[in-house]
Amino acid sequence: MRVHIIGTGLLGASLGLALGAKGHQVTLEDTSPTAQQLAADLGAGQVVNPTEELAEAADPTVAADATSPAAHPDIVVVATPPDVAARVIASALEDYPNATVTDVASVKTRLLEAVRELVTEPQLDRYIGCHPMAGREKSGAIAAQSDLFTARPWVICSDEQTPADRLGEVIAMAEDTGASVLHLDPRIHDAAVAKVSHVPQIVSSLVASQLRHAPLEEISLAGQGLRDVTRIAASDPGLWTQILTGNAEEVRSVLIDLRTELDEVIGALELGPGSTGLLAKAIALGNEGHDRIPGKHGQPPTTYAVVTILVPDTPGMLARLFKDIGDLGVNVEDFRMDHASGRKLGMVDVSVVPAIQQELEIGLLSKGWQIPESAIEKEGTA
């Protein structure tokens, strides 16, 4: 396919790398000549001069299979910042009258409304809104990765009006990036990302914000819990302002629910009658919501057994550990290195299916690893 990408930031450049690797003809366009050239230099696609290309596209004497792919793209992907996406989509529908036009913006309802205001009905059928659920804390083409979309959900918001062949093109392109296609109504998508992405972002930022003026001796008590809750607080304010503005209504509605529960907790902390029950309820409702989050690979939540191994922080030790685990024939479902404070030691939590936990622990102990797991220590000393 001939794919023309408008906007060569993290998502646009990553898409170009992914599709180029699959043999598609990718052309690039960006309002910033530097950003455009950088993405091309990184191998994300071929830079075109939009003016020349559009002149060619408008010229009926130039055949549709002209050597310049940007003149007649099969798909135009709008990967600009969200606040200009509607305008760029409308222009693309006009400039490329045969192409399917899609986008990668993380909010869909408001964008679709904005596009509807700019574009009339028959044109609109060629627009299919998308949201690949991929990103990094870094931004720009320099952070692009050809596998950014691999194994990530790629949401497609088509409707009954969408022609099947155009939908098929977008699905094929999304699948060629390695993503898993998911069809959702724009409103359901926006409600979902408010809960699973936008509200967690705001709350993570608010928790981190409380540390701004804390003395360093207080912050030195930070543990893995705080690090996990605030990891995404490092995200880009400019991009997030656009995302939150675009999904303001849904995000506000979830935040208001959250504030009601927060007010209950604040009230309970005055320690009046019934406060114990209210505090316990707040944590228990969190348990309930937490249990609904799907496990790895989109499967239903699974409780894995966690084996914690003490690993000296020297080169080669992780290699030895994972070689030993591999030699035992054990498949690792997940792992995490815990940050140690004050000394050069790591604790590695390895998640495995519960049935092989004991086998793994016995195997690693016999290879000299320290596993402070009492259940097996007991067997070893009994």
- 339-358: contacts with its own copies (CB under 8 A): 339-345, 347
Q: Which stretch binds its own copies (CB under 8 A): 73-81, 88-96, 158-166, 308-316?
A: 308-316
Q: How far is CA 28 from the centre of its chain?
A: 23
| Residue of 46, 123, 201, 358 that binds its own copies (CB under 8 A) | 201
Q: Which stretch binds its own copies (CB under 8 A): 29-37, 63-71, 87-95, 371-379?
A: 371-379
Q: Which stretch binds its own copies (CB under 8 A): 49-57, 68-76, 88-96, 272-280?
A: 272-280
| Residue of 296, 302, 354, 366 that binds its own copies (CB under 8 A) | 296
Shortest Cβ 99–its own copies spacing (Å): 26
| Residue of 32, 151, 274, 354 that binds its own copies (CB under 8 A) | 151
| Residue of 32, 52, 163, 269 that binds its own copies (CB under 8 A) | 269
125 contacts its own copies (rule: CB under 8 A): no
205 contacts its own copies (rule: CB under 8 A): yes
Cβ-based nearer residue to its own copies, 56 or 175: 175
The mark string for 220-239 relative to its own copies (x by CB under 8 A, - otherwise) is xxxx-xxxxxxxxxxxxxx-
| Residue of 335, 362, 365, 367 that binds its own copies (CB under 8 A) | 335
Cβ-based nearer residue to its own copies, 21 or 66: 21
326 contacts its own copies (rule: CB under 8 A): yes
| Residue of 210, 273, 355, 368 that binds its own copies (CB under 8 A) | 210
| Residue among 251, 249, 250, 246 nearest 205 (CA) | 251
Q: Which stretch binds its own copies (CB under 8 A): 28-36, 95-103, 114-122, 327-335?
A: 327-335
| Residue of 276, 302, 359, 366 that binds its own copies (CB under 8 A) | 276
359 contacts its own copies (rule: CB under 8 A): no
Instruction: Provide the greatest CA pair distance for the chain.
Output: 89
Shortest Cβ 239–its own copies spacing (Å): 9
Q: Please write down the HEC assignment for all residues of 23-56.
A: CCEEEEECCCHHHHHHHHHCCCCEECCHHHHHHH
Burial (Cβ within 10 Å: 0-12, 13-18, ≥19) of residue 360: buried
Burial (Cβ within 10 Å: 0-12, 13-18, ≥19) of residue 6: buried
Q: Which stretch binds its own copies (CB under 8 A): 23-31, 52-60, 166-174, 193-201?
A: 193-201
Shortest Cβ 194–its own copies spacing (Å): 9
Cβ-based nearer residue to its own copies, 124 or 311: 311
The mark string for 17-56 relative to its own copies (x by CB under 8 A, - otherwise) is x-----------------------xxxx------------
* Residues between 59 and 118 that touch its own copies (CB under 8 A): none
307 contacts its own copies (rule: CB under 8 A): no
| Residue of 66, 167, 282, 353 that binds its own copies (CB under 8 A) | 282
